[in-house]
Amino acid sequence: MFLSAIAILLISLFVSISLGAKSLTLETVWDAIFQYNPALTPHQIIHELRLPRVIAAAVVGAAFAVAGALMQGITRNPLADTGVLGINAGATFMVALSFAMWPGLSYAWLMGLSFAGAVLSTVFIFLLGSAAPGGLTSMRLTVAGAVIAAMLSSLSTGVAIYFDLSQDLAFWYAGGFGGIEWRHLRLIVPVLLTTLLLTMPLARRVSLMSLGEEVAMGLGINIRLTRLLALTAVVVLAGVSVSAVGSIGFVGLVIPHISRKLVGVHYRLIIPMSSLLGAILLVLADLGSRIVNPPEELAVGIMVAFVGVPFFLYLARKERRAL
Amino acid sequence: MRSNVPSRGKRSIAVSVTLLCIAFAVIAISLNTGTIRLSPIAVLHTLLGNGSPDDQIVLFDYRLPRILITVLAGAGLGISGAALQGITRNPLADPGILGLHAGAALGLMVFVSLSYSMDGSIALLIPLFSFAGGVISALIIMLLAYDRHNGVSPIKLILVGIAVAAGFHALTMYLSLRLDEDTYSFAARWLAGSVWGRDWVHVQALLPWVAVCVPYIWSRSKTLDAFGLGDAAATGIGTPVRSQRIWLLLCTVALSAVSVSMAGGIGFIGLAAPHLARRLVGPMHRHLIPAAGLIGMVILVTADTIGRTIFQPNAIPAGIVVAAIGAPYFLYLLVRTK
């Protein structure tokens, strides 16, 4: 199962690099990657344009998918997703603010602010959920998240309108890998890959959490600590990804479900599977967004939503008892 | 219990009269403020037909249609929220959170993409488009939240609503990114609740829907009260639950969708107005619905006045002002209720 997923990922990576506004043969792609020659234009296209965006799509896809899987595990809510829960909206709001206040901010700062926005909205949502009598229920968390998301995206719109950057922000928000360069990758890839690797040891705890808090507590799991660690990972993954490519929803919702179908209920398998499938999904979505109507590009977030929404509806219909 | 009913009636009348006074005060303030200030006396003179030509233009061509839109849409949003909470037996139900606004907004965006114009007599079609969008999203949500064994559970309704809203947002975004920059920023402002540039034709487009839906919903107050008892009890006391629910739901969707089509996707009014109303006049829908409508009206007119006077030169749409105040209120409710 994993081997075939890896194989599919590699194939999609190669296909995605070779297809586009200018089609290139696989041989050129191979040469450009392994025997890079800056003097050749096709090599340059691949090295400067295609390769960074494809790598970004793969890494960010994995990050969104794993963030969604962790969210679903610790909240026991099959519809949880960093987009639905307002984490992406927090990151987006900070990005909108920095677009307005400090235009031309360096990418590292933008990433940091976006991450801070994700942290703030997450902390806020959890504090609110926990302040209520009866504690943090999955229902309360979801509703609080949706409301925070509504408020923050509305405030982002306000900032955008007040500072006249509506469509700039809308394009960025809808997601896209077009502007990704190597200097961005040098920042996001190490952070995301490290976080993804660090989530693996959490998998067992999350599996037990997903059985219910009583069960997890009975088995000696420190629920608060597990939740804190998992949330930290989620916030890093979502905050950094949003800063790079905008708010791409549904990856974190759909991919964990497919993984669960393929490899069962253990997060030790779900998390790696989710990262592979998330990478495949976004690489293909990015490819799709480039070749649907060249030379114009469709925003990746929309591309994903076109696949994600019907799937989600199917899921909500089918797993009604789980809701 | 019996002695309680007349006193509650009196109380509700007193509350309604007070709210009406507040609404008039807010409308008067809103009429006065703006880039060109009109004194209350000048407003009065102009309304009676004795104003200077300039004042007449400002008042009749710009300010009055705009305020009528916020008045009608505010009431519409408040009442549709109250009705929706009654129908779903869910105190956290809100047309915005349940995804009806997202459907209405998509309908509006389809209209913009097809016609590129929102003025003139074609504007009369706008409510139809957003109504269609609202109905489609309501259908999808009901279909997905319905369970043969348990009916429609409130939790599922909210979860499915949130997700359907996300889907509709993506479609709206897809359409909006294809617009040219001017049309885009116009549509974005409209959707965010800016009522700048509304004309009498927009009032004409909105008024009939409100005039039909509001009295119908109010006339079904007893039915809404009966829903609160649960389906079995409601059927027991002779309420045809299924057919009544469908009609009421259709009316609610229509009311919220046309309000969105003319004033933008303003969330939280549908949630907050009924809650405040319930505190003031109690849970009977006969009293609740007028109070919720008046409160919604006050909120929206106030938000619009704040948005266009405090934030100069780029006015902030009313929807954003409402969200900035309404979301914390919602969260407060969420924390308070079990």
ipTM: 0.72
Q: Is a pLDDT exceeding 60 seen at residue A321?
A: no
More reliable by pLDDT, A119 or B160 = A119
Most confident of A116-130, A269-283, B16-30, B300-314: A269-283
Is B47 at the interface with chain A, CB within 8 A? Answer: no
Residue of B nearest to A78 (CA): B159
Over pLDDT 90: what percentage of chain A?
9
Phi and psi torsions of B151, nearest 5°: 70, -145
Q: Which tens digits make up the pLDDT trace of B166-211?
A: 788 888 888 887 777 777 777 777 887 777 778 788 888 888 888 9
Q: What is the mean pLDDT of residues B292-300?
A: 92
Quote the DSSP letter at residue B152. Answer: E
Is A158 at the interface with chain B, CB within 8 A? Answer: yes
Most confident of B38-47, B152-161, B179-188, B302-311: B302-311
Q: Which residue, among A81, A151, A293, would best test binding to B if mutated, counting the most B CBs under 10 Å from its CB? A: A151
Distances (CA, A) of A91 to A58, A199, A241, A305: 20, 21, 9, 19
Is B181 at the interface with chain A, CB within 8 A? Answer: yes
Chain A CB contacts of B164 below 8 Å: 313
Is A170 at the interface with chain B, CB within 8 A? Answer: yes
Model pLDDT, residue A278 = 92
Model pLDDT, residue A295 = 64
Q: Which tens digits make up the pLDDT trace of A243-269?
A: 888 888 788 888 888 888 888 888 888
Q: Which residue, among B157, B158, B174, would best test binding to A if mutated, counting the most A CBs under 10 Å from its CB? A: B174
Is A155 at the interface with chain B, CB within 8 A? Answer: yes
Average pLDDT along chain B: 81
Chain B CB contacts of A306 below 8 Å: 170, 174
Contact present, A14 and A28 (Cβ < 8 Å): no
* B338/A161 Cβ within 8 A: no
Model pLDDT, residue A274 = 92
Q: Is a pLDDT exceeding 90 seen at residue A65?
A: yes
Q: Please tell me which of the candidates A148, A154, A316 has its beta carbon nearest to residue B160.
A: A316
Model pLDDT, residue B27 = 83
DSSP string, A69-91: HHHHHHHT-TT--TTTTTHHHHH
Chain A CB contacts of B171 below 8 Å: 305
Q: Looking at chain B from residue 102 to 161, which residues have their Cβ under 8 Å from any Cβ of chain A?
A: 140, 143-144, 147, 155-156, 158-160
Distances (CA, A) of A75 to A120, A141, A206, A223: 18, 8, 10, 11
Q: Is a pLDDT exceeding 70 seen at residue A322?
A: no
Chain B CB contacts of A249 below 8 Å: 166, 170
Alpha carbon of A130: minimum distance to chain B alpha carbons (Å): 9
Going by pLDDT thresholds of 50, 70 and 90, the confidence category of residue B1 is: very low
* B192/A154 Cβ within 8 A: yes
Q: Looking at chain A from residue 233 to 252, which residues have their Cβ under 8 Å from any Cβ of chain B?
A: 249-250
Peptide bond into A295 cis (omega under 30): yes
Model pLDDT, residue A173 = 67
Model pLDDT, residue A323 = 41
Greatest alpha-carbon pair distance for chain B in Å reads 67
Contact present, B154 and B90 (Cβ < 8 Å): yes
Residue B316 one-letter amino acid: I
Contact present, A247 and A301 (Cβ < 8 Å): yes
Q: What is the mean pLDDT of residues B254-283?
A: 87
Contact present, B204 and B124 (Cβ < 8 Å): yes
Average pLDDT along chain A: 80
Going by pLDDT thresholds of 50, 70 and 90, the confidence category of residue B76 is: very high
Peptide bond into B313 cis (omega under 30): yes
Model pLDDT, residue B52 = 76
Over pLDDT 70: what percentage of chain A?
87
Q: Which tens digits make up the pLDDT trace of A95-143?
A: 888 888 887 777 788 888 888 998 888 888 877 767 766 666 666 777 7
Calculate the CA A24 to chain-centre distance: 29
Chain A CB contacts of B142 below 8 Å: none
Going by pLDDT thresholds of 50, 70 and 90, the confidence category of residue B293 is: very high
Q: What is the mean pLDDT of residues B72-86?
A: 92
Q: Is a pLDDT exceeding 80 seen at residue B321?
A: yes
Alpha carbon of A103: minimum distance to chain B alpha carbons (Å): 19
Q: Please tell me which of the candidates A133, A171, A301 has its beta carbon nearest to residue B170.
A: A301
Kindly provide the b/e burial profile for residues A126-163, where b requires at least 16 CB atoms within 10 angstroms of the residue's own CB: bebbeebeeebbbbbbbbbbbbbbbbbbbbbbbbbbbb
Q: Which tens digits make up the pLDDT trace of B117-129?
A: 666 677 778 888 8
* B144/A301 Cβ within 8 A: no
The token pair that represents A88 in the structure block: 């992406």
Q: Lowest mean pLDDT: which of A97-101, A247-251, A292-296, B329-333? A: A292-296
Chain A CB contacts of B167 below 8 Å: 305, 308-309, 312-313
Model pLDDT, residue B153 = 67
Q: Please tell me which of the candidates A253, A298, A313 has its beta carbon nearest to residue B144.
A: A313
Going by pLDDT thresholds of 50, 70 and 90, the confidence category of residue A23 is: low
Alpha carbon of A5: minimum distance to chain B alpha carbons (Å): 27
More reliable by pLDDT, B92 or B320 = B320
Model pLDDT, residue B72 = 92
Model pLDDT, residue B43 = 74
Q: Looking at chain A from residue 13 to 72, which residues have their Cβ under 8 Å from any Cβ of chain B?
A: none
Q: Is a pLDDT exceeding 80 seen at residue B311?
A: no
Model pLDDT, residue A318 = 63
Q: Is a pLDDT exceeding 80 seen at residue B108?
A: yes
Alpha carbon of B269: minimum distance to chain A alpha carbons (Å): 13
Going by pLDDT thresholds of 50, 70 and 90, the confidence category of residue A20 is: low
Chain A CB contacts of B151 below 8 Å: none
Q: Lowest mean pLDDT: which of A53-62, A133-142, A199-208, B183-192? A: A133-142
More reliable by pLDDT, B243 or B276 = B276
Q: Are strands B146-147 and B151-152 parallel, antiparallel or unpaired?
A: antiparallel
- Tracing tokens 């309360």 back to the chain, one arrives at A140
Q: Is a pLDDT exceeding 90 seen at residue B282?
A: no
Long-range own/partner contacts, residues A21-26 (CB < 8 A, 24 or more apart)? A21/A290, A21/A294, A21/A295
The residues, ordered by sequence, that sit 6+ positions from B309 with a Cβ below 8 Å of its Cβ are B33, B34
Chain A CB contacts of B163 below 8 Å: 79, 84, 253, 312-313, 316
Q: Which residue, among A87, A137, A161, A293, would best test binding to B if mutated, counting the most B CBs under 10 Å from its CB? A: A161
